[in-house]
């Protein structure tokens, strides 16, 4: 299990594809490789100079409708994707930190979160962004506000929850204008959050952490009843091969859980390392590992408005559920040689986008069964609307 590198400026969530994501050989926990990763992580989101939309890493996606979608990523990048991907514009944010997640209530009002406690708001569709200052009490080893990795709105869209490392949980009652600290008070990286109402939600993170709240995050209950996990940390190995290679047994506490998504108050999914995909149909009282079709780490999971399950991960992984059976989209796997971090779909369940490393932006118009990559030239031509800085 690789511990998050808290002091580097970006947690392992950004590099959950392990060292392959950063192009470093060797393991994260071994001498020179760790130093090299730390050096690269320190540089992520803080590079000077022009932004290149065809090269940047993308971490989050949100689709409002088939004419309006957004992708966010390294170095303050926000792309507006219009007309089902025909028009792409690089929006001015005025920040250099990485942006990890984005969400819009309507065409005008949006919220983005990211590195070192970055929170951005827009009221004009992204033409301008205002930075909201986050001031949480810090541990003695923290040199900046914690990263904010993932957010979720309640039934009332003004109610927002967001999570990050060091047990960070924050809550807003006014769509991100002000924030309340609901942090856990313990050293655990929280990677994903999903609320199904204004009071009930889940967060997931490292060490197999699954937490459930029914009072809006004031109190949390751990959920540990997980069934049918693989016997070893390398699920593809037989028992004989695992013993021969000295591969250790797999326990829930070993798992790095990356994302959570609930379709209804009872039905939800969790995406995790090693292709592990957990499903519940009883509000998390029991979780069952279901075959995802991949042994690669999964980075996101969602259920589209039409009920289609979609998961993304490293090494070009997009898995789609067909009548309850998950399978990989082979064309994507063969042609996308980097990680796919996130996906989002319009309310019709057909148009969607998926984003990932090295300028990867994928479009689908059939609910995720086929995907087309946005051309490098189109991303390169994305024009900045205005040079204005954030307020």
Q: Do 276 and 216 sit in the same domain of this protein? A: yes
Are residue 39 and residue 127 in the same domain, yes or no?
no
**What pLDDT sits at residue 295?**
87
Three-class secondary structure of residue 275 per DSSP? helix
Cα–Cα distance, 12 to 84 (Å, whole number): 32
Q: Are residues 292 and 372 in the same domain?
A: yes
Tokens of 336: 């996308």
Q: What is the pLDDT of residues 348-384, one digit of tens each?
A: 999 999 999 999 999 999 999 999 999 999 999 886 5
If pLDDT is split at 50, 70 and 90, which confidence band does 18 have?
A: very low
**Residues 59 and 355: beta-carbon distance below 8 Å:** yes
Cα 233 to Cα 254: distance, rounded to the nearest angstrom: 9
Q: Output the CA angle 374-375-377, nearest 5 degrees.
A: 135
In a domain? residue 99: yes
In a domain, 386, yes or no: no
Q: What six digits make up the tokens of 107?
A: 């065409």
Residue 197 lies in a domain: yes
Q: Rounded to two decimals, what is the model's pTM?
A: 0.86
In a domain, 108, yes or no: yes
Q: Is the pLDDT of residue 61 over 80?
A: yes
- What share of the chain has pLDDT > 90, as a percent? 72
| Cα 90–Cα 95–Cα 99 angle in degrees, nearest 5 | 75
Tell me the CATH number at 267.
Answer: 2.130.10.10
- Is 389 a domain residue? no
Q: State the greatest distance between any 2 C-alpha atoms of the chain, in Å, as a whole number.
A: 61
Q: Which domain holds residue 19?
A: 1-44
Averaged pLDDT of the chain = 86
Same domain? 31 vs 123? no
**What is the pairing mode between strands 277-280 and 287-290?**
antiparallel
DSSP for 206-243? TTTEEEEESSTTSS-EE---EE---SBSSTTS-HHHHH
Give the strands of the sheet with 372-373, arranged side by side: 340-345, 352-356, 360-364, 372-373
User: 71 and 159 share a domain?
Assistant: yes
Residues 5 and 127 in one domain: no
Does one domain contain both 152 and 295? yes
The verdict on residue 351 lying in a domain is yes
For residue 212, pLDDT beyond 70 = yes
- What is the per-residue pLDDT for 48? 57
Q: How far is CA 305 from CA 156, 216, 249, 363, in A?
A: 18, 24, 37, 17
Same domain as 229, residue 108: yes
Question: Strand order in 150-153's β-sheet?
Answer: 150-153, 160-164, 168-172, 180-181
- 268 within 8 A of 261, measured Cβ to Cβ: yes
Residues 6+ positions from 149 with CB-CB distance below 8 Å: 11, 13, 100, 101, 113, 162, 163, 164, 165, 190, 191, 192
Query: Residue 218 is encoded by which pair of tokens?
Result: 């004031």
Q: Are residues 121 and 200 in the same domain?
A: yes
Angle at 142 between CA 122 and CA 181, to 5 degrees: 50
Alpha-helix runs per DSSP H in the chain: 19-22, 31-43, 239-244, 330-335, 376-380
CA-wise closest residue to 337 among 277, 381, 276, 296: 296
What average pLDDT does range 201-219 have in this prediction? Answer: 98
Mean pLDDT of 152-170: 97
Mean pLDDT of 24-39: 38
pLDDT tens readout for residues 82-129: 998 899 999 999 999 999 999 999 999 999 999 999 999 999 999 999
> Does residue 38 lie within any of the structural domains?
yes
Distance CA 35, CA 24 (A): 10
Q: Are residues 15 and 164 in the same domain?
A: no
Tokens of 6: 């808290």
Stretch 177-200: mean pLDDT, rounded?
96
230 plus 322 within the same structural domain? yes
Q: Are residues 38 and 182 in the same domain?
A: no
The count of structural domains within the chain is 2
Token pair 């108050």 is found at: 265
Q: Is 271 domain-assigned?
A: yes
């Amino acid at each position: 299990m690789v511990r998050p590198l808290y002091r580097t400026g970006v947690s392992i969530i950004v590099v959950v594809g392990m060292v392959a994501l950063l192009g470093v050989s060797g393991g994260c926990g071994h001498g020179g490789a760790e130093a090299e990763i730390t050096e690269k992580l320190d540089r992520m989101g803080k590079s000077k100079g022009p932004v290149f939309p065809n090269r940047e890493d993308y971490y989050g996606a949100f689709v409002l409708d088939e004419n309006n979608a957004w992708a966010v990523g390294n170095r303050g990048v926000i792309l507006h994707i219009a007309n089902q991907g025909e028009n792409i514009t690089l929006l001015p944010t005025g920040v250099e930190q990485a942006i990890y997640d984005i969400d819009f209530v309507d065409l005008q009002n949006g919220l983005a979160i990211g590195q070192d406690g970055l929170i951005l708001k827009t009221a004009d569709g992204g033409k301008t962004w205002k930075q909201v200052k986050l001031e949480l009490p810090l541990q003695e080893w923290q040199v900046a506000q914690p990263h904010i990795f993932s957010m979720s709105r309640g039934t009332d869209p003004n109610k927002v929850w967001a999570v990050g490392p060091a047990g960070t949980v924050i809550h807003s009652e006014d769509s991100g204008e002000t924030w309340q600290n609901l942090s856990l008070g313990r050293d655990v990286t929280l990677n994903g959050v999903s609320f199904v109402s204004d009071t009930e939600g889940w967060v997931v993170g490292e060490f197999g952490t699954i937490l459930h709240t029914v009072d809006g995050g004031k109190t949390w209950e751990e959920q540990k009843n997980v069934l049918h996990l693989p016997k070893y940390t390398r699920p593809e190995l037989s028992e004989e091969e695992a013993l021969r290679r000295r591969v250790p047994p797999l326990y829930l506490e070993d798992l790095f859980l990356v994302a959570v998504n609930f379709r209804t108050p009872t039905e939800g999914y969790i995406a995790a390392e090693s292709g592990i995909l957990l499903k519940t149909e009883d509000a998390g009282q029991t979780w069952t590992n279901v075959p995802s079709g991949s042994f690669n780490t999964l980075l996101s999971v969602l259920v589209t408005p039409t009920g289609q399950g979609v998961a993304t991960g490293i090494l070009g992984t997009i898995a789609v559920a067909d009548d309850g059976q998950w399978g990989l989209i082979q064309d994507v796997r063969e042609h996308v040689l980097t990680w796919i971090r996130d996906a989002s779909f319009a309310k019709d369940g057909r148009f969607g986008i998926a984003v990932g490393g090295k300028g990867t932006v994928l479009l689908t118009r059939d609910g995720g069964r086929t995907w087309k990559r946005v051309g490098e030239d189109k991303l390169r031509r994305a024009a900045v609307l205005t040079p204005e800085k954030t307020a």
